[in-house]
A and B are shown apart, each in its own frame.
Chain A
Amino acid sequence: MFFKITLIFIFLFQISCANKNEKSYQDLYALRILLETATKAKPNPQAACIDAMRSEEACIATASDVLAGTLTETNLSLTLSTGKFTTYSDLCANNLYMYPLPTNYVTNNSDAIRECFFKCDSSYWKTRKNLNICSGTSTVMLSGIGNDSGTSNCRRNCFSSTNNTP
């Protein structure tokens, strides 16, 4: 933590000096990117995956085709892992998710992009929950992830290096 704070101060100092010395926009850009990187927490796709699963569970639990109280972490994990795992933690650690992930998903995607994608999914479910629109059928809501413009935009922001929309 101390190292990070020191690093941030060094970068801030450099930006301040760069502005004074009228450094090129490219130097300022590089400092900004380094500062952003230094201030960001280390990506944790496992935690994001679990959070997304929990968000999904919270919403789908009230779906019209799901009996109240029947959808639990254990049940959902067992269903998605065809009886192998009982926790989201194990599920996510074994590259299983609420929808099938491509093979080599972990090796082909960085931790940051996976975390970002999971967060987009999590956001989808949380938004539905907040808007009280979790009463539809689970199938429709699940397929909604692929069609939802907010989620698509969120994912585009994940891998887009420029013009990210907040």
Chain B
Amino acid sequence: MKSITTYKRNWFLFLFILLTLSSEISAVAFRGRLFSRVKNQGEAGLTVVIVTPTSKIPAQTDAEGYFDAEVPSLGNYTFRILRTTGIQELEKSITADGEVVTIYTDKTPKPKGGIDVEGQKDKTILSRYKVRYDEIKRMPGTLGEALNALQTLPGVFAPPPFAGNNGGCFGGIVIRGADCRTNTYLYDDLPIYYAYHFDGINSVIHNDLIKTIDIYTGAYPANFNNATGGVVEIESNEAAKKATGSFNMSFLLGQAMYQTPLFNGKGYLAAGGKVGYLDKTLGSTGLVPDGIRLPQYNSSNVKFIYNFNSQHQMSFTSLTALDGFVLKAPGGFGSNDPTKEPLAAVAGASVSAGQGYRTMALRYTWTPSTKFSNRITLINYEPFNNTNVQFGSIQATFRASAPYTGVRQDLVWNPASFLKIDAGTEGRVINYNITGFSVRLKDPNNQSPNPYDLTNPAFEKADITQQTKSNYFNAYTTFHFTFGNFKFEPGIRHDYIDYGKQGATGPRATISYKVDGFLKGTTFFGGAGDYARFPYFDQAISRESGNPNIQFEKARKYGGGIDQQITEEWSVKGELFKQEFTSQIVNDPYISEAYGLNPDKYQRLQRPVVTNRALNYSNSGTGWSHGYELYIKKANRPNSKDWFGWISYTWSQSFRNNNIYNADYDPNKNRILSGDEQRLRALYPNSRETIFDYDITQLLSVVYGWRLTEEYQIGGRWFYRTATPYTPVIGDDGGQFKNPYNNQIYWNPRYSDNPYSNNYTNSRRQAPYHRFDIRIDKFLSYEWGYVNLYLEIINMYVRKNINGESFSTTAPYSKRNPEPQNDFFTLQLPNGMLIPFFNVGMEVRF
């Protein structure tokens, strides 16, 4: 009996050992690593608990963040990380026995040399894209400029220089069919007068000091202002682990940067600068005609931060930029042959233009708890420009500046788990100073003003001297309600300027709802708002030659769409939008006030008062744009050699109407009316909508990047867009006038005045613009840092893209005049062979 009992006991023991052994045999061993993307290192000394259906398996990370553990089988597990600040739970799959699994503990990937752009979901999902500088640093076709990468995002493109009827848009971007001059650029919430230097390629911000760039293409939050287009928000670095620097040289410019922690990590100092030397490189090749001094520029960014403790922080920021350009075309060339003299058409003309700005800010941030933060910023900002132009009857000489000193306050408060409140106020004292004379087109409908017609000049000189002091105030608030997957964010903003005693109130709201269950989640979102912009630095508001009653330009924006996360790497975002522009400032030859001082100062003694004093500008303009966008993205895993890329597509339309009297639409336009009758007639504007200067129907960008090895990276970008519209030249004036400097006949172009013809304003487009760019990077790593050599080839398949048409005023209209105007991304060798534009450079990082 005993033996039987012993036998049974042994049998159970055998089964138990067998089961235990089989359990051991079927277990999956793996090595895990907790890795912080922010710190860019493994997380040491943490306890990790792996939660299985039947047990909780503890493990401890070593100095490199590694730990070893076993789980019962392959599959998805919850990793519970025990920290002194609380418990963090993350999910990760174990897919193979012996696998090394990296578990990322935060969400700030920084792949060295990677390229990536992603929609940011932490803030508003509507019409907003976030670009991290370190991710787009090596994007092809950008000539190394982070801001240029914005053009690969939906709804954003840079129009060709001089495109449009208002002198072009140097260095500007068009966002969803809005005027490129109506965007706002901010650097750490501080104003920047312009984003690009005169060459239109290089930005005024040093690349290595940019942390992220947010672009708001549609209904943007209430804390931003003064934009009926979009908002570009650049955020700079706020800390450095160690002292680093970089030096970068290319054909176009040199730039240097240095940043360092100070006071045992409590402080941070960063300084960067750029110097453009195109006048020294390209200017010394002899390819530039005599009389032109290519743009000279420089810019600097300095930032200092000191953290007294976790609650109090002070920072100081200084931003400067200065640009200059000179053209002095000699008069009387001698040969009188325009084919041999590149500046014959503008002989005797002299242009010197300069612009710049200085922004200084002292900021105090108080963060008493994680639920409240307040920021007070003292800002001193001075944008200025100098213009000296003499070209036939076009004569303008003025210096303008609009400095202001202001204080703004911004707070963020989380009073409840479902509510966050942003609120802020600002007050400014603005000095608008302008000295000199400007030039204005007498008839805004005149498409071909002749600068050499001195008998009946198309331009008039206007004294715009003015010194005005004004106050400006604003206040805003936004409520962020979150109820589970549902978000509702109403906000309101009011801007008031006592120059003209007027204000603008802009309510706005966004709404979003995330549905879990389909793939990795679907988010529906929508929003709308009223937006305003005041032209602080514009002749239009001049009391001397403009309209001091000018009101805010306004826009109403709507948008909505779906964001579908397909996998962790793939996502698709689609959005519909509409924008209605009202109260747009236009040149208005009829608007006037009943009486006033004679605007012609030379006549003031004789005739001091005039009736119907011209105001020259009004808020009559209207317009709209609408369209849809699609953004398909494949992200790469940080530190991986996986490929990444995206496709962005935009379809849009944009129209404008000046809403003033236009003789082209008047069947009785030849009948001469009295001034009274003209004023009455102008009350009933007959102008009609025309396609906007920067309307493009289709915009497509394809971006691809691949980190081949530790030493090499390649990237490619192809983009396609419909050409911007233009008004074709249909003839000339018969050469009625001559340039007095060289007696060269000036053939003034003639445009259609028949609004029903296919030659009328903005009725034509050139062939679509498309090109393919690549960039190859080679990294040479050293103990002290690395050297990055790069070659960028733009327009690989050497397409002769056309920006518009160019009419030479030194020759009559013919089949070869005008001729298509190509962009400069195709180079022609002396033997006639075409090669793509290229850029080589070197970055040294230590």
Contacts and interface: CB of A to CB of B under 8 A. Distances in A.
A112 B673 contact: yes
Given A26-B591, A33-B679, A34-B683, A161 B670 contact: no
A131 B671 CA distance: 36
A112 B594 CA distance: 20
Interface in A11-38: 24-26, 29-30, 32-34, 36-37
A84 B590 CA distance: 43
A163 B673 contact: no
A36 B598 contact: no
Q: Is chain B's binding surface mostly helix, strand, loop or mixed?
A: mixed
Contacts of A164: 610-612, 675
B618 A26 contact: yes
A138 interface: no
B596 to A, nearest CB: 9
Interface stretch (A50-58, A62-70, A85-93, A152-160): A152-160
Interface residues on A, range: 20 to 34
B772 to A, nearest CB: 49
A166 B611 contact: yes
A79 interface: no
A158 B679 CA distance: 12
B683 A159 contact: no
B674 interface: yes
Nearest to B588: A26
B592, B610, B620, B676: most-surrounded residue (chain A CB, <10 A):
B676
B607 interface: yes
A24 to B, nearest CB: 6
B599 interface: yes
B675 A158 contact: yes
B614 A162 contact: yes
A40 B614 CA distance: 21
B680 A33 contact: yes
Contacts of B675: 157-162, 164
Contact of B612 (A108, A110, A163): A163
A33 B676 CA distance: 8
Interface in A131-154: none
Nearest to B618: A26
B609 to A, nearest CB: 7
B280 interface: no
B589 A161 contact: yes
Contacts of A110: 671-674, 677
Given A161-B678, A162-B613, A113 B672 contact: yes
A164 B614 CA distance: 9
A6 interface: no
B835 to A, nearest CB: 55
Contacts of B609: 166
A130 interface: no
A158 B611 CA distance: 12
Contacts of B676: 36-37, 40, 112
Contacts of A113: 672-674, 677
A104 to B, nearest CB: 10
A116 interface: yes
A109 interface: yes
A166 B672 CA distance: 21
Contact of A37 (B603, B614, B680): B680
A116 B551 CA distance: 35
A25 B603 CA distance: 27
B300 interface: no
A165 interface: yes
Contacts of A25: 547, 549, 551, 593, 615
B766 to A, nearest CB: 37
A163 B672 contact: no
A107 B671 CA distance: 7
Contacts of B591: 26, 29
Interface centre among B547, B620, B671 (most CB of A within 10 A): B671
B619 interface: yes
B753 to A, nearest CB: 18
Contacts of A109: 671-672
A102 B463 CA distance: 37
A109 B660 CA distance: 22
Contact of A161 (B607, B610, B612): B612
Interface string B609-631: 11111110011100000000000
Nearest to A24: B551
A159 B680 contact: no
B156 to A, nearest CB: 33
A160 B590 CA distance: 10
27 contacts: A24-B551, A24-B619, A25-B593, A29-B593, A30-B683, A33-B680, A40-B676, A107-B671, A109-B672, A110-B671, A112-B673, A112-B676, A112-B677, A113-B673, A113-B677, A157-B675, A159-B674, A161-B590, A161-B682, A162-B592, A162-B675, A163-B599, A164-B612, A164-B675, A165-B603, A165-B610, A166-B611
Interface of A: 24-26, 29-30, 32-34, 36-37, 40, 43, 107-110, 112-113, 116, 157-166
Considering the complex of A and B, which 9 residue pairs feature the smallest CB-CB distances, nearest first? A162-B614, A112-B674, A25-B549, A161-B678, A113-B674, A165-B607, A161-B675, A163-B610, A164-B611
Interface of B: 547, 549, 551, 589-594, 598-600, 603, 607, 609-615, 618-620, 670-680, 682-683
Given A34-B683, A164-B675, A165-B611, 10 more contacts: A24-B551, A26-B618, A36-B679, A40-B676, A110-B672, A112-B676, A162-B614, A163-B613, A163-B614, A164-B612
